[in-house]
Structure 1
Amino acid sequence: MNYLLTGESTVRSTFRLLKREDYQTWLPIFKEEDTGRFLGMKQGLTAQEQCDVWFEKAFWRYDKGTSGMNVMIHKETNEFIGQSGLLVQTVNGLKRLEVGYSILPHFWKQGFAKEAAVRLRDLAFERGYDKNFGNSLVSVIHEDNIGSIKVALHNGMSLESDYIDSTITDRFLVYSINRKTWEQIKKD
């Protein structure tokens, strides 16, 4: 099944696929001190090497034809805001559907990640995508990434467990929301 959201939108942004010519626009996110660490990248990579890894993984996901990050474009200004998407991941040995989001520094603390995460959550449950993943969605977040933790909590998620991966030395947390909780949120 394809979980890409091309053509979907939030209140302030539209989604489209990442293009190779987006590289220079996306590069500044990796110049921020903690971005690579928060994304679980190998330590010691330059900003350009981190961006290379990001693009390689993004196009690998697209080529698999199942999931990936979508570029968020501001509806009024046509600016590239960030990326968000539904990602098929193996989390603690189980196939899970992750709500992922990364926003360019210029747009931090403006609610774009929250807006995208809620839209992704709602689309996943409305379309029944969660049924292939234990009736739940997750976000895997570095323990020090307070901004992303706040987005997950805003999205109705709660702490499920630590993320276990022997190749990563930092502590990551798994936040999740199940269908029953989502249905209650939508009812309220």
Structure 2
Amino acid sequence: MKIIQIIETERLYLRQYEDDDFTSLYAIFSDPETMSYYPAPFSIQKTRDWIKRNQERYVTDGFGLWAICLKGTNEVIGDCGLVKQIIDNCVEVEIGYHILKRLWGKGFASEAANACKTYGFHQIGLKKMVSIIDPDNLASIRVAEKIGFTKESEVFIFNKTHLIYSSG
């Protein structure tokens, strides 16, 4: 698969997933603390399926979650991007993100999410985007607020109550 860079920021670039990203992504998705707001950390197969599902989204939707890479080293430190979700019977586009635990608190999630927000509005022409956040995930709430999202509602989705933060 040809590397397709989607977004560039001051410290990062986001590109489409490659199959070779498995090891870096599995280190993130298999970590119990990083995945504490998911039902469980990802298995090897679930990580492979995650990569494949996003590669399929690039074709069907024109976007998906992308690998976050550090400029200079090209290290994959997480993912961020746009994903279609069904919320209260409406299709919404979510900005989602995961960052390697050792790099938490350095602003990488906010930098990547803000770049995805700009991309969604200016490159895709979206009118609204959301983030679906577990009410206890204070770090993700801070990221959403930092990029200008505000709390819109609470919904029961993915088998539990989540906060919906939105741009519109």
| Structure 2 residue 143 is matched with structure 1 residue 143 | no
Unaligned runs of at least 5 residues, structure 1: 179-188
CA spacing shift, 1:17–1:44, aligned 2, 3 Å: closer
Contact between 2:54 and 2:65, CA under 8 Å: does it hold in 1?
Answer: yes
Tell whether 2:164 aligns with 1:174: yes
Partner in structure 2 of residue 186 of structure 1: none
Contact kept, 8 Å, 2:95 with 2:129, in 1: the verdict is yes
Q: Deviations over 1:96-135 (max 9, x none)?
A: 12111111112211100000111111222223622xxxx2
Matching residue of 1:21: 20
Q: Which residue of 2 aligns with 1:181?
A: none
Whether the 8 Å CA contact 1:36–1:50 is kept in 2: the answer is: no
Q: Which amino acid aligns with 2:144?
A: A
Distance 2:54 2:5 in 1: 14
1:53-76: CA deviation from partner (whole Å, max 9, x where unpaired) = 422422332342432111111112
Alignment partner of 1:115 out of 111, 119, 124: 111
Q: Given that residues 67 and 88 in structure 1 are in contact (C-alpha distance below 8 angstroms), is that contact kept between their aligned partners in structure 2?
A: no
Does 1:87 pair with 2:83?
Answer: yes
**Partner SS for 2:106:** coil
5+ residue gaps, structure 2: none
User: Higher helix proportion, which one?
Assistant: 1
Looking at structure 1, the residues matched to 124 and 13 of structure 2 have their Cα atoms a distance apart, in angstroms, of: 22
Q: TM-score, normalised by structure 2?
A: 0.85
Q: Distance in 1 between matches of 2:149 and 2:141?
A: 9
Q: Counterpart of 1:170 in structure 2: which amino acid?
A: K
Deviation at 1:164, TM superposition (A): 2.6
Aligned length: 165
Q: Which amino acid aligns with 1:24?
A: T
Using the TM superposition, give the Cα deviation of residue 94 of structure 1 relative to its aligned residue in structure 2, in angstroms.
0.9
1:84-103 CA distance string (max 9 Å, x none)? 11222222211112111111
Computing the radius of gyration from Cα coordinates, the structure with the larger value is 1
Task: State the identity %.
Answer: 29
TM-score by length of 1: 0.77
Residue 81 of structure 1 and its aligned partner are, at CA, apart by 1.6
Helix, strand or coil at the partner of 2:93: strand
Deviation at 1:45, TM superposition (A): 6.2
Q: Does 1:33 align with 2:23?
A: no
Normalized per residue, which structure has more strand? 2
